């Protein structure tokens, strides 16, 4: 039987065993509501606060700057809507980039439909933005700049520290948010050094559980309540605490940050071998910044190909990869990020994102390179699948 090779780690990641073990007691024995005053509630509250401390430490933040949310999408929505509300009366101009995740892009579009003016910064062909571009876009009525830390399709890392410094140099009252969902747990990152006011993270991108995330809010720039209700999270984000999720996220983040030094060289080696091998395939190109990119990220386009059948054939051979973003995997539509980078529609429909994690092996990479070479040739010739290549046929 064909084994599964999972290389869609930007889409989501498997839960770590440590996170799972830490979460388990909070489903049954310790199921108390953290707002309750009896012993089980007190212990749930203590677990939540311990998790908050761990997350704050991992990010270089203070405990009271971390707010729990349901994930990256909510943290992004809160940042944009919250900043608009907080700075109401100071202006109606927002700056984002054209390559933001839909959670930021569509939220900005929604604000636009409510009378906000949004500037969409365009990147160069590698997905890069400069501080000068930000400075040129800023206006006396700008209330928020939101720029992602790492792009989820092509993996390009944006110079957030410099972009934030340029914004603050123009007007320190403009809030700076970064969607760091793809970066947290994968590269060293410290909110104080970055200088940002708001930072979004999501547990399932760093081997934590799904449906839980956090928003870092720098002291002094705390946003108004997003979810109103019972007054949880200092009245800013109501809703019964997801204690298993919160505990699992904290353990996964602590583990990922602890493992960065050990896992990064392994992941980089695999990614570089993968890139070298895939670029041997005629008409293939690496997308995004070749140097400043996420360690596990390798995205390609293939001339004379569309990605939907390629991704399907890869899946038939046990390889779990995606087109660009997990949301658009296999849709056949051109990637809006690649279009924004200036790729023609034909190539923007031919993207393949392979994102590696610490559990991938050198043997898997060789199998991906071999399989991809065969499948690309086969699809270009319009042939039906070549049978007989299977991961399990490979020697141990």
Catalytic amino acids? 327
Single out the residue of 252, 249, 233 nearest to residue 241, CA to CA.
233
Contacts of ligand PLP in 1-40 (CB under 6 A):
none
Looking at the Cβ atoms of 82 and 213, the one nearer to ligand PLP is: 213
Looking at the Cβ atoms of 45 and 293, the one nearer to ligand PLP is: 293
Of 213, 288, 295, 357, the one binding ligand PLP (CB under 6 A) is 213
Taking the CA atoms of 240, 196, 157 and 328 in sequence, report the sign of the dihedral they define. Answer: positive
Stretch that binds ligand PLP, among 70-78, 270-278, 360-368, 371-379 (CB under 6 A): 70-78
Stretch that binds ligand PLP, among 54-62, 178-186, 216-224, 264-272 (CB under 6 A): 178-186
Q: What is the DSSP string of 311-335?
A: HHHHHHTTEE-BSSSGGGTT--SPP
Q: How far is the CB of 283 from ligand PLP (least distance, A)?
A: 28
Q: How far is the CB of 212 from ligand PLP (least distance, A)?
A: 8
Looking at the Cβ atoms of 32 and 324, the one nearer to ligand PLP is: 324
Task: State how far the alpha carbon of 82 is from the alpha carbons of 63, 88, 207, 217, in Å.
Answer: 20, 10, 28, 11
The answer to whether the beta carbons of residues 64 and 81 sit under 8 Å apart is no
Q: How far is the CB of 12 from ligand PLP (least distance, A)?
A: 8
- How many chain residues interact with ligand PLP (CB under 6 A)? 14
Looking at the Cβ atoms of 149 and 391, the one nearer to ligand PLP is: 149
Q: How far apart are CA 307 and CA 284, in angstroms?
A: 12
Using DSSP's 3-state secondary structure scheme, residue 94 falls into strand
The answer to whether the beta carbons of residues 241 and 48 sit under 8 Å apart is yes
Helix, strand and coil in the chain, % to nearest 5: 40, 15, 45
Q: Is 103 in the site for ligand PLP (CB under 6 A)?
A: yes
Contacts of ligand PLP in 104-123 (CB under 6 A):
none
Q: How far is the CB of 72 from ligand PLP (least distance, A)?
A: 2
Q: Is 146 in the site for ligand PLP (CB under 6 A)?
A: no
Q: For residue 380, what are the contacts with CB-CB under 8 A and spacing of at least 6?
A: 304, 305
Q: Is 242 in the site for ligand PLP (CB under 6 A)?
A: no
Stretch that binds ligand PLP, among 69-77, 166-174, 245-253, 361-369 (CB under 6 A): 69-77
Looking at the Cβ atoms of 32 and 71, the one nearer to ligand PLP is: 71
DSSP state of 125: T
Single out the residue of 115, 126, 145 nearest to residue 297, CA to CA.
126
Stretch that binds ligand PLP, among 67-75, 134-142, 230-238, 343-351 (CB under 6 A): 67-75
Task: State how far the alpha carbon of 317 is from the alpha carbons of 178, 299, 310, 375, 377, in Å.
Answer: 37, 19, 11, 10, 15
The two most distant CA atoms of the chain are separated, in Å, by 69
Of 32, 72, 244, 357, the one binding ligand PLP (CB under 6 A) is 72
Q: What is the DSSP string of 339-379?
A: HHTT--HHHHTSEEEEE--TT--HHHHHHHHHHHHHHHHHH
Q: How far is the CB of 1 from ligand PLP (least distance, A)?
A: 30
Contacts of ligand PLP in 320-339 (CB under 6 A):
326
DSSP state of 23: H
Q: How many CB atoms lie within 10 A of CB 381?
A: 8
Burial class of residue 276 in the structure, from the number of CB atoms within 10 Å of its CB (0-12 exposed, 13-18 middle, 19+ buried) = exposed
The answer to whether the beta carbons of residues 187 and 178 sit under 8 Å apart is no
Q: Is 153 in the site for ligand PLP (CB under 6 A)?
A: no
Looking at the Cβ atoms of 165 and 326, the one nearer to ligand PLP is: 326
Contacts of ligand PLP in 260-319 (CB under 6 A):
none
Looking at the Cβ atoms of 149 and 367, the one nearer to ligand PLP is: 149
Stretch that binds ligand PLP, among 112-120, 130-138, 179-187, 216-224 (CB under 6 A): 179-187
Q: Is 101 in the site for ligand PLP (CB under 6 A)?
A: yes
Looking at the Cβ atoms of 101 and 313, the one nearer to ligand PLP is: 101
Strand partners, 299: 287, 353
Q: Is 182 in the site for ligand PLP (CB under 6 A)?
A: yes
Q: How far is the CB of 383 from ligand PLP (least distance, A)?
A: 34
Binding site for ligand PLP (CB under 6 A): 71-73, 76, 101, 103, 148, 152, 179, 181-182, 202, 213, 326
């Amino acid at each position: 039987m064909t084994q599964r090779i999972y290389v869609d780690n930007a889409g989501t990641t498997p839960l770590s065993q440590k996170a799972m073990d830490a979460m388990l007691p909070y489903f049954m024995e310790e199921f108390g509501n953290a707002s309750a005053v009896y012993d089980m509630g007190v212990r749930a509250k203590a677990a939540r606060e311990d998790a908050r401390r761990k997350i704050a430490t991992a990010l270089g933040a203070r405990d009271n700057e971390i707010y729990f949310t349901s994930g990256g999408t909510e943290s992004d929505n809160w940042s944009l809507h919250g900043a608009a509300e907080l700075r109401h009366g100071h202006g109606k101009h927002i700056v984002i980039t054209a390559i933001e995740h839909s959670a930021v892009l569509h939220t900005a579009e929604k604000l636009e439909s409510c009378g906000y003016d949004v500037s969409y910064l365009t990147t160069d062909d590698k997905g890069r933005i400069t501080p000068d571009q930000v400075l040129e876009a800023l206006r006396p009525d700008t209330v928020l700049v939101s720029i992602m830390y790492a792009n989820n399709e092509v993996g390009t890392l944006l110079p957030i520290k410099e972009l934030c410094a340029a914004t603050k140099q123009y007007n320190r009252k403009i809030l700076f948010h970064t969607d760091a969902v793809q970066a947290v747990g994968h590269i060293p990152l410290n909110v104080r050094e970055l200088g940002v006011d708001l930072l979004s993270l999501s547990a399932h991108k760093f081997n934590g559980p799904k449906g839980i995330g956090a928003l870092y809010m720098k002291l002094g720039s705390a946003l108004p309540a997003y979810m109103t209700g019972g007054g949880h999270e200092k009245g800013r984000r109501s809703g019964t605490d997801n204690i298993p999720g919160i505990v699992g996220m904290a353990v996964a983040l602590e583990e990922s940050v602890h493992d960065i030094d050990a896992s990064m060289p392994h992941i980089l080696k695999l990614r570089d071998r993968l890139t070298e091998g895939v670029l041997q395939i005629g008409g293939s190109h690496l997308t995004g910044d070749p140097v400043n990119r996420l360690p596990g990220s390798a995205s390609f386009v293939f001339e004379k190909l569309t990605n939907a059948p390629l991704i399907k054939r890869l899946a038939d051979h046990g390889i779990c990869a995606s087109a660009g973003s997990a949301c658009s995997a296999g849709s056949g539509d051109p990637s809006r990020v690649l279009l924004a980078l200036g790729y023609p529609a034909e190539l923007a429909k031919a993207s393949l994102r392979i994102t590696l994690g610490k559990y991938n092996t050198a043997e898997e990479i060789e199998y991906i390179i071999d399989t991809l070479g065969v499948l690309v040739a086969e699809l270009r010739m319009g042939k039906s699948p070549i049978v007989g290549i299977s991961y399990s046929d490979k020697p141990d």
